[in-house]
Amino acid sequence: NLSGAFLAELTRHLQGQNPNFAFANSWLVHRLADQVLTIEQVVHTEGQAQAVDQVSIGNSINSLRFLNSNDWRLFIEKHSLVERTLTGDPSHIYAQMDFATRNRYRRAVEGIARRSKFTEYDVALKAVQLAENHASDNPEDRAAHVGYYLIDHGRPVLECLVEMRLTPAVMLDKLRRRFPLICYLSSMTFFILAATILFFAAAHYSV
């Protein structure tokens, strides 16, 4: 079947043309009659379809403009349950941080929750509760800040509390964070040793 757009465009071209095109126009009329249609119906239907497409395109453009004009970082934070939970930080430091730092905390919550049976909300809530417990005794201590349990030395306490599963990759990352110098020197020693072995092996086979 010929598309409505093609038939409508063909009709426009045939109208007012040389009488030699009468055969083509007659063929078109009969072809449409087979589909129980008339030329007027095809042109009208196609015009409506184009009008609908134009409205749809216009709405899409307006939607893109709306998306571009809004700060979606703030929108996401406003509707994030984890964000609202972490804002309960007893030290009141979290709410004063910039977006990048707050996002780092939220990603830490996400990473812990992914490897435990608790939801992100549960993890965030437990981090706040740990900070609150410490703040009741020593509100000025760093452990009274929720970040202490998300990205600092208090993280193992939170991980244990939510029964986080420790994969080999996580364990290696923990070692790297806890002993950065030792890990750096060990990796350098390994690469130097490997390069030395390869050098002598190549020299041996070249003799």
Q: Which domain holds residue 84?
A: 75-165
Tell me the average pLDDT across 2-23.
Answer: 60
> Is there a single domain that holds both residue 117 and residue 151?
yes
Query: Among residues 100, 77, 73, which one has the least CA distance to residue 87?
Result: 77
> Is there a single domain that holds both residue 28 and residue 94?
no
> Is there a single domain that holds both residue 87 and residue 153?
yes
- Give the separation between CA 144 and CA 137, rounded to whole angstroms: 9
CB under 8 A, 24+ apart: contacts of 166-169:
166/115, 167/115
In-domain check, residue 171: no
The total domain count for the chain is: 3
The per-residue pLDDT for range 147-168, each reduced to its tens digit, is 999 999 899 899 999 988 876 6
In-domain check, residue 105: yes
In-domain check, residue 20: yes
> Is there a single domain that holds both residue 189 and residue 123?
no
Task: Give the model's confidence band at 91: pLDDT under 50 very low, under 70 low, under 90 confident, else very high.
Answer: very high
> Is there a single domain that holds both residue 94 and residue 64?
no
pTM score of the predicted model = 0.54
Share of the chain above pLDDT 90, in %: 32
b/e 10-30 (16+ beta carbons within 10 angstroms → b): bbeebeeeeeeeeeebeebee
In-domain check, residue 107: yes
Average pLDDT over the chain, rounded to an integer = 79
Instruction: Please report the DSSP string for 7-21 in residue order.
Output: HHHHHHHHTT--GGG
Tell me the torsion sign for CA atoms 30, 34, 38, 42: negative
Whether the predicted pLDDT of 171 surpasses 70:
no
> Is there a single domain that holds both residue 118 and residue 47?
no
